[in-house]
Amino acid sequence: MTTLRVAMIGYGFMGAAHSQGWRTAPRVFGLPAETEMAVIVGRNAQAVGEAARKWGWAESATDWRQVIAREDIDIVDIVTPGDSHAEIAIAALEAGKHVLCEKPLANTVAEAEAMADAAATAAARGIRAMVGFTYRRVPAVTFLRDLIAEGVVGRISHVRASYRQDWLVDPEMPLAWRLQKEHAGSGALGDIGAHAIDLAQFVTGQNLQKVSGVVDTIIKERPVLDSGSGLSGIAGAGYGPVTVDDIAIFTGRFESGALASFEASRFATGRKNALAIEVSGDKGALAFDLEDLNSIQFYDRTVPADRQGFRKILVTEAEHPYVSAWWPAGHMLGYEHGFSHQVKDLVEGIVGGTDPHSTFAEGLRVQRVLDAVERSSENDSAWTSVGADAAVPAR
Residues 265, 204, single domain; the answer is yes
Please report which confidence band the pLDDT of residue 226 belongs to, taking 50, 70 and 90 as the band edges. Answer: low
390 found inside a domain: no
As a whole number, mean pLDDT of residues 151-168 equals 97
Last residue of a domain, one of 70, 103, 133: 133
Last residue of a domain, one of 133, 149, 168: 133
Residues 148, 296, single domain; the answer is yes
Total residue length of the chain: 395
Q: How many domains does one find in the chain? A: 2
Helix crossing, 194-204 with 360-378: angle to 10°?
120
Please report which confidence band the pLDDT of residue 393 belongs to, taking 50, 70 and 90 as the band edges. Answer: very low
Answer whether residue 265 shows pLDDT above 50.
yes
Residues 183, 233, single domain; the answer is yes
Q: What is the CATH number of the domain that holds 72?
A: 3.40.50.720
For the segment 79-111, what is each residue's pLDDT rounded down to a tens digit? 999 999 999 999 999 999 999 999 999 999 999
How many helices (H) and strands (E) in the chain?
Answer: 11, 17
Residues 66, 11, single domain; the answer is yes
Are 367 and 109 contacting, i.e. CB atoms less than 8 angstroms apart?
A: yes
Q: Which residue segment(s) compose the domain that 86 sits in?
A: 3-133
- Cβ atoms within 10 Å, residue 248: 27
Residues 176, 323, single domain; the answer is yes
Residues 314, 187, single domain; the answer is yes
For the segment 367-384, what is each residue's pLDDT rounded down to a tens digit? 999 999 999 999 999 999
395 found inside a domain: no
Task: Report the pLDDT value the prediction gives residue 232, as an integer from 0 to 100.
Answer: 54
Residues 273, 229, single domain; the answer is yes
pTM: 0.94
Q: What is the CATH number of the domain that holds 223?
A: 3.30.360.10
Cα–Cα distance for residue pair 257/208, rounded to 1 Å: 9
Residues 123, 151, single domain; the answer is no
Are 370 and 186 contacting, i.e. CB atoms less than 8 angstroms apart?
A: yes
Please report which confidence band the pLDDT of residue 388 belongs to, taking 50, 70 and 90 as the band edges. Answer: confident
Least Cα distance to 273 among 166, 196, 194, 190 occurs for: 166
Residues 263, 204, single domain; the answer is yes
392 found inside a domain: no
Give 321's DSSP letter. Answer: T
Cα dihedral 78/83/88/90 (nearest 10): 110
Give the pairing of strands 98-102 and 129-132.
Answer: parallel
Residues 61, 140, single domain; the answer is no
Residues 364, 324, single domain; the answer is yes
